[in-house]
Amino acid sequence: MSTETKPAYSPGLAGVVAGETSICWVDPNAGLAYRGYDIHEMAEQANFEEAAYLLLNGELPNAQELMDFGRRIAAERELPEPVLDMLRLLPKKMHPMDVLRTGVSMLAGFDPDLNDQSHDANMCKSIRLIARVGTLIADGWRISKGKDPLPDKNDLTHAGNFLYKLTGQVPETWQVRMLDTIFILYADHDFNASTFAARVTASTLSDMYAAVTSACGTLKGPLHGGANEESMKMLDEIKTPERAEGWMMEALAKKAKIMGFGHRVYKAGDSRVPIMREIARDYGNRIGKPEWVPICEKLEATMEREKGLCANVDLYAAPVFTMFGFPSELNTPIFAASRIAGWCAHVTEQHDNNRLIRPRSIYVGPALRPFPGHSSSTK
């Protein structure tokens, strides 16, 4: 039946190069750079706005450009009233990632540049999306808890304002610094599943909101962004460092997938783990809850010994978010509040040099056979 030779096949597209990008480089040997800048240096010194500007524009902003960029984000944060009304109509138990996906989709209708895929229009939409994704998460969460959304505090950074809007408390300077670092770590990761989903959608010349809606749906899954929620459930179950090794051995014996471990690209460690681990240690020491890091370290040592697998960033992000006071359902949305910068940069890059992304499949169904026709099926 075959009319062509079989194309090469890599399950899960492992190792397949699906495009070129100048936004982000993931080095399998535990490295990560945005537009050529090492993530480790940026995480220490930059804030999220600088990283987002860099991802979108290709170069770091000067002081004036950074101030203007921050102001433009601040000016776009408020949600249109009908979107707030919609948030009030959603079931109170709806997962915040589903709320976010729904909200992004609805916001499309309020963007005057929706169907303009030019570079300049995409930059404007990126700023609106970066601003409003944070608001959707914070306002959606408060509304689901029967509370009113809070007004923005525009004297805070984007990360600081996000913390304030979620918790209702003005965060400490060190908390803002930590969240800025976390936002930088999560902002981009080349062709990860959600970014690839966004690029596939954008490659049909569909709009940025459609692409980000696809990305939100993709990030939710526990093999991707959803892992930071699942990791926290695991750590809550383990409870103490003494129980960690036994728990892991039992789970491995059952052939379970352990959340927060493994990575498609990194095989010698996730570049973001050392920074996130130190944030977790620092936070734990500050608030008298130092046990999370030893639990994770025991899990890491056991997994390394048993399967040679390394932890990924979500293992340590989970307890950090818990120490911030967030329930685990918010872990993946917080990831999205940062990754939105990467998604928008990739959609823009895709539109600027587009070719439809349309792979092939290998047909493994029945061989060609004669269609019986209606007369035979009604006999």
> Can you give the binding site for ligand COA, defined by CB under 6 A?
12, 223-224, 227, 257-264, 307, 309, 312, 314
The minimum distance between CB 25 and ligand COA, in angstroms, equals 17
How many CB atoms sit inside 10 A of residue 135's CB? 23
DSSP lists the bridge partners of residue 32 as 26
The closest residue (CB) to ligand COA is 262
Please say whether the beta carbons of 182 and 160 come within 8 A: no
Decide whether 305 or 307 has the Cβ nearer to ligand COA. 307
State the minimum distance, in angstroms, from the CB of residue 201 to ligand COA.
21
152, 158, 207, 224: which is the annotated catalytic residue?
Answer: 224
Q: Which is nearer to ligand COA, 131 or 187 (CB)?
A: 187
Q: What is the amino acid identity at position 1? A: M
Least spacing, CB of residue 224 vs ligand COA, in Å: 6
40 in catalytic set: no
Q: Give the nearest distance from C-beta 66 to ligand COA in angstroms.
A: 29
Please indicate whether residue 155 is annotated as part of the active site: no
Instruction: Produce one character per residue of 5-27: b if its CB has 16 or more CB atoms within 10 Å, e if not.
Output: eeeeeeeeeeeeeeeebebbbbe
Considering the candidates 263, 270, 346, 351, report the single residue annotated as catalytic. Answer: 263
Residue 367, helix vs strand vs coil: coil
Rounded CA separation 118/294 (Å):
49
Q: Provide the token pair at 302.
A: 């056991």
CA 37 to chain centre: 20
Give me the catalytic one of 270, 314, 346, 351: 314
CB-wise, 135 or 231, nearer to ligand COA? 231
The smaller minimum CB distance to ligand COA, of residues 1 and 8, is found at 8
Cα gap 310→263, rounded to integer Å: 8
Q: At 135, list the tokens.
A: 């608001």
Place of tokens 């537009």: 35
Q: How far is the CB of 312 from ligand COA (least distance, A)?
A: 4
Distance set, CA 122 to CA 15, 111, 303 (Å)? 30, 11, 43
Cβ nearer to ligand COA, comparing 142 with 346: 346
Which parts of the chain are beta strand (E)?
A: 24-27, 31-34, 37-38
The answer to whether the CB of 23 falls within 8 A of the CB of 35 is yes
Active-site residue 314, yes or no? yes
Q: Indicate the residue among 227 and 293 with the shorter CB distance to ligand COA.
A: 227
How far apart are the C-alpha atoms of 265 and 29, rounded to whole Å?
9
Closest contact distance (angstroms) between CB of 314 and ligand COA is 5
Two tokens at 49? 């706005």
Active site residues: 224, 263, 314
